[in-house]
Amino acid sequence: MQVGIVSYGAYIPIYRLDREKICEMWSEKRGNGERSVANVDEDAITMGVAAALDCLKGFASDTIDGLYFASNTAPYREKQSASIIATALDLRTDIFTADFCNSMGAGAQALRSACDAVKAGTAKRVLVIASDCRIPPPNSVFELTVGDGAAALLVGEEEIIAEIEGNYAISSSFLDSWRRERGDRYFRSWEDRFVIEKGYWNYGVQVMRGFFERYNFKPKDFAKAAYYGPDIRSHKIMARKIGLSQDQIQDPLFEVMGNTGCAFFMMLLIAAFENLKVGERVLCMSYGDGADAWSFRLTEQIEKVRRDRRGIAKHLASKMMLPSYGKYVRFRDLMEWEAKPFPPVESSLNVFYRDEKALIRGYGQRCKVCKHVQFPPQRICMWCQTKDQFEDVKIVDKRGKLFTFSVDERAVFSLDLPNVLVIVDLEGGGRIYSQATDRDPRTLEIGMEMEFTFRKFHEGSGFHNYSWKLRPVRC
């Protein structure tokens, strides 16, 4: 049975932080370019949902048999993230969901497990998502090198866009980067030269040599090589160590995005998919607790997927710059702030349980009598006053036009002032009132096109409150 990649998707937050601003803060001179920064209402789950939606364009949600989610920054330590993502994507409830975590190699582990599931016949299509939003120590080299982002690959046996020709993996207990269960907010690492030479270069070369030997490949057989690297210098040297020429190296995007953790190798793989020709091969490597090497060969089906994916290139082209390092500190809550004279925000699990279909899956309702669409769902139609005569209609897959909006410069609970509230008329009927995100208030215009995005609302009652917001259409 031939198993391969059926579709791909990616997500890069709209915000970027100029590395010069980081260097200005700490009076350093060591940063060029910019890095991606998740919005204050984003985390590994919301970015994973965005990448998955990009990946699943054109695929019915009921054709997905499993969802594997990889992250080192999952919002919960005791609660599965994959199940939340599956609900937000409106997938079936009789699918298998699993989290892969605690390693930079978690994305490769999830991908390999998905391939094994399809080969074994226990699933026809498995969605693999990798997403990381790592917080580096302030005034560290890592603050300049990391970035936030997510990738999604759909693994299956039909309509394959990239055949998997081989996979070779090695395992190692080498302590590269880590974060303890207690006491570590930021990830740790050891002396740079030791970690690179004894870890990254050592195991990267080992896995590549083993891969070439097992499958009788040579470096020249590949049009591009998309592989993990902790920084731009060690990434370049790795190419020489495994015999790659400069034009074979997929741009590692350090200058425009940064190292996105366990999602990094998948994002670089997708960047290669966006530009290669049918029949060309991609050499791919993931690193972390060992290493994984892969060969992918593009098929004619790739053109069908490229047409409407935002992927890497379009997300990179759509950006807004953070105005200051202080804004980044606020987004990541890296300081102790002034106490507010307001009671803490409270939430109700009962409400989220009762209204899951509306709040998480994104359904409104259509009146069977007057055909008007309304949200949130309720028992009495606001137009014709008919009672309990509704049918469910999904609204978060629709776009809309901005009808009106308000801008509040002093909203006490907003961490990204001003707080912008919008009323949007949806295509196909229905009007919705919600908070806007990923927006520049100076560019908002009545009639502009808006779209839904899955985000955090707040942290009330000790759990994460997720639902859908609206934003100006990206890309």
In the chain, CATH 3.40.47.10 sits at 4-332
Distances (CA, A) of 124 to 33, 85, 119, 165, 261: 42, 19, 9, 18, 28
CA 127 – CA 51 distance, rounded (Å) = 11
Quote the pTM value. 0.96
For residue 28, the model assigns a pLDDT of 78
What value does the mean pLDDT of the chain take? 95
The alpha-helical segments, DSSP class H, found in 93-250 are 106-120, 141-145, 192-194, 202-215, 232-241
Provide block-wise average pLDDT over 10 residues at a time, the chain (475 residues): 94 97 86 93 98 97 97 96 98 97 96 97 97 95 95 97 97 94 90 95 97 97 97 96 96 97 98 97 98 98 94 97 94 86 83 93 96 93 94 96 94 82 95 95 96 92 94 93
pLDDT, one tens digit per residue, over 90-110 is 999 999 999 999 999 999 999
Buried b / exposed e over 236-274, threshold 16 CB at 10 Å, is: eebbeebebeeebbbebbbebbbbbbbbbbbbbbbbbbb
Distances (CA, A) of 143 to 21, 86, 136, 186, 219: 11, 31, 5, 11, 33
Enumerate the β-bridge partners of residue 128.
68, 153
Return the biggest CA–CA distance within the chain.
Answer: 72
> The dihedral of CA 330, 332, 336, 340: what is its sign?
positive
In the chain, CATH 2.40.50.840 sits at 349-472
DSSP assignment letter at 336? P
CA 82 – CA 74 distance, rounded (Å) = 10
In this structure, whether the domain defined by 4-332 belongs to CATH 3.40.47.10 is answered with yes
DSSP class per residue in 391-460: EEEE-TT--EEEEEEEEETT-TT-SSSSEEEEEEEETTS-EEEEEB-S--GGG--TT-EEEEEEEEEE-G
Type of residue numbered 418: P
Tally of residues, the chain: 475
CA 38 – CA 41 distance, rounded (Å) = 8
Of the options 2.30.30.30, 1.10.3720.10, 3.40.50.2300, 2.40.50.840, the CATH number for the domain spanning 349-472: 2.40.50.840
